[in-house]
Amino acid sequence: MKTRITELFGIDVPLLLPGMSWISTPQLVAAVSNAGGLGILASGPLTAEDTRNAIREIRTLTDKPFGVGVTLLMPGAKENAEVALEEKVPVINFSLGKGDWLVKRAHEYGGKVIATVVSEKHAKSAESIGADALLVTGHEAAAHGGAVTSLVLIPSIASKVSIPVIATGGFADGRGLMAALSLGAEGVAMGSRFATSADSPLHHSVKETVVSKSEQDTIYSNNFDGLWARVMKTPRSVKETRKPMNIILAAIEASKAAKMVKQPLWKIMMGMLVALDKIKLLAYFGASVPRLKAATIDGDLNEGVQFIGQTQGLIEDIPTVQELVDRIVKEAAELHEKQAALFS
């Protein structure tokens, strides 16, 4: 398959693994890149040293293009971005912050930059600073999707920018890929689908739970980590999203979480002081870490909460990444032939 996305990043198929904390690890990143797509490392839970080691590990596992994701609002993100730039990572994906300096520095060594957006305003802003592509996140997505569904958001933004769009939120198979291309996107990112592959470090019991649940079994709320986010519906997540955590308790939990993500407490506190308008968000985001780790790493859905998209209802098995990519490309090709026949 050839689109502007495959040509831009030097990949074979327009399929991307977005950066998901504790899931988009070197092994899964390399598996997606080796299968012809673009794997993006999640740097959120990592220190600068961890990020450097992870980048170098990826390079031992694949000689294909890959990326690093940075959520600029979070403590430690700038340091991780600096490491990615120093290591001359082929692709950098940024979100929740100003990425003009990232674009400038990446372009100096020939790197490419993807900006994650959920609105036309942010899409145009990213284009204006020189971003090479947009990761447009619809309402159906796991974690922090936008308020507008992919069916409307993707064509709306694609028609208003000149740079290529990668669709995410609601895409898990060949049908979704062809739909995204029809809407004006030139590739798709599939978080939930790749997270439930055999190569993913997501706990196996959680993968099996995803397979057993439907598209109805998710919750979209801003009471969990301070941002509007989609999680798997379980008794624990219902409880966690019923109402916002007390801000004092959230701050206490965030300080505990600092140790879990290897960030010194002073850096968390400084981050809050520097961004006083975002102090509540940072506290809630930090407080969510133990719940997310309990589900993702330990497979404990009684105590943990799992980010998942509505594509949960489309996930029926746990194939390897290579099997999944081959299947999607085959499905897309068959659909293309059927659709072409409609107009013959």
pLDDT of amino acid 278: 56
pLDDT of amino acid 246: 59
Q: What is the CATH number of the domain that holds 113?
A: 3.20.20.70
Same domain? 240 vs 290? yes
Contact in structure between 312 and 208 (CB atoms under 8 Å): no
Same domain? 182 vs 216? no
Q: How do residues 128-186 score in pLDDT, each as one tens digit?
A: 999 999 999 999 999 999 899 999 999 999 999 999 999 999 999 999 999 999 999 99
Same domain? 209 vs 198? no
- Number of structural domains the chain divides into: 2
Same domain? 327 vs 291? no
Same domain? 93 vs 169? yes
Same domain? 18 vs 162? yes
The percentage of residues in the chain with a pLDDT greater than 90, rounded to a whole number, is 80
Q: CA-based Rg of the chain, rounded to a whole angstrom? A: 19
How far is Cα 10 from Cα 4, in angstroms, rounded to an integer? 10
Question: Can you name the residues that pair with 135 across neighbouring β-strands?
Answer: 116, 166
Q: How do residues 76-109 score in pLDDT, each as one tens digit?
A: 899 999 999 999 999 999 998 999 999 999 999 9
> Within a 10 A sphere around the Cβ of 266, how many other Cβ atoms?
10
- Average pLDDT for 294-298: 97
- Average pLDDT for 292-315: 97
DSSP track, 222-247:
SSSSSS-EEEE--HHHHHHTSSPPPH
Is the confidence at residue 279, as pLDDT, over 60? Answer: no
Q: Is 220 helix (H, G, I), strand (E, B) or coil?
A: strand
**How would you classify the pairing of strands 188-189 and 15-17?**
parallel
Contact in structure between 142 and 309 (CB atoms under 8 Å): yes
Same domain? 239 vs 166? no
pLDDT of amino acid 261: 46
Is the confidence at residue 7, as pLDDT, over 70? Answer: yes
Domain range holding 321? 4-202+316-342
How far is Cα 40 from Cα 149, in angstroms, rounded to an integer? 23
Is the confidence at residue 335, as pLDDT, over 90? Answer: yes
Same domain? 333 vs 249? no
Same domain? 272 vs 324? no
Same domain? 58 vs 180? yes
Q: Contacts from 202-208 at CB under 8 Å and sequence distance 24+?
A: 202/22, 202/23, 202/296, 203/295, 203/296, 203/297, 203/298, 203/299, 204/299, 204/318, 205/299, 205/301, 206/295, 206/296, 206/299, 206/301, 206/306, 207/318, 208/318
Contact in structure between 169 and 138 (CB atoms under 8 Å): yes
As a three-state string, the secondary structure of 7-36 is HHHCCCCCEEECCCCCCCCHHHHHHHHHCC
Q: How do residues 232-270 score in pLDDT, each as one tens digit?
A: 999 999 999 998 765 555 555 555 545 544 555 445 555
pLDDT band at 288 (very low <50, low <70, confident <90, very high): confident
Same domain? 212 vs 152? no
Report phi then psi at 37, rounded to 5: -95, -160
Same domain? 178 vs 298? no
Question: Can you name the residues that pair with 168 across neighbouring β-strands?
Answer: 137, 189
pLDDT of amino acid 343: 83
How far is Cα 221 from Cα 322, in angstroms, rounded to an integer? 34
Mean of per-residue pLDDT scores for the chain: 91
How far is Cα 269 from Cα 258, in angstroms, rounded to an integer? 10
